[in-house]
Amino acid sequence: MKILEFIDKFPNEQSCKIYFRDIRMKEGVVCKNCKCRMHYWLASKWQFQCSECGFRTTLKSGTVMENSRLSFRTWFLVMLFMTSTKKGLSACELQRQVGHKRYMTIWSIMHRLRKVMGNRDGLYQLTDLIEFDEGYFEKEVPQKIKSKLKRGRGSERQVNVAVMAESIPVEDLRSKKTSNHCRHFKMKVLESHNPRR
């Protein structure tokens, strides 16, 4: 979603809450007390109430936003910025973009979201043609010591990562040319450069 589309779709906090409520109603809410899946919506309280035991569930309860005091719109903005660019986004830049006062809050949100996305990605199984390679990726290092670390292979500034990609041959019907399309991929940080024996 582009930033202008986001502004049109979610102009205020209420629009974000309504959207999130509809998503949760569609997916279903599970009662923490009795595990019942039948709930009804209490509009006056903005909560779900279990039809079996009467236990109430807030909109954020049971989600990545649980126990967070941040607004839905801030959460949505963080999700937008984290997913709308192929390049990485630092917590400092994200803090500036959403206009939040505390760095650690934004840092914590980013890590929560990354963990959830990682858990979801773990459900995928690669199929068809699998391509494998390894590469070096620069990791976040405090600015004070970054310039003192050596560069290149074995640098403390970089980590060695194995990458497996699900590659599917795609044929253009007009030109008959084929190219590979990457659907899902998995990455794992390697502990050493030596192959296991």
The tens digit of pLDDT for each residue in 88-137 reads 788 898 899 888 999 999 999 999 998 888 777 667 778 777 888 888 87
Question: Quick one: pLDDT at residue 166?
Answer: 82
Give the strand order in the sheet containing 39-42.
Answer: 39-42, 47-50, 56-58
Do 168 and 129 touch, CB atoms closer than 8 A? yes
Scan for tokens 């801030």, then name that residue: 74
Q: Give the DSSP letter of residue 12.
A: S
Mean pLDDT of 26-52: 92
Which residues 6+ apart lie within 8 Å of 120 measured at CB? none
What residues does each domain of the chain span?
3-121, 129-189
Tell me the Cα Rg of the chain: 22
- CA distance linking residue 9 with residue 151, whole number of Å: 45
Quote the pLDDT of residue 119: 73
Which pLDDT does position 150 carry in this prediction?
64
Where are the alpha helices (H) located in the chain, listed in sequence order? 3-9, 13-27, 72-83, 91-98, 103-121, 143-146
Query: ∠ at Cα 160 (108, 132), nearest 5°?
Result: 110
**Res 197: pLDDT:** 46
Tokens of 20: 């999130």
CA atoms of 48 and 40, how far apart (whole Å): 6
1's tokens: 């979603």
What pLDDT, on the 0 to 100 scale, is given for residue 195?
58
Q: Model-level pTM? A: 0.64
**Confidence (pLDDT) at 149:** 67
**Counts for the chain of helices (H) and strands (E), in that order:** 6, 6
At 143-174, the pLDDT tens digits run: 666 666 666 655 677 778 888 888 777 777 78
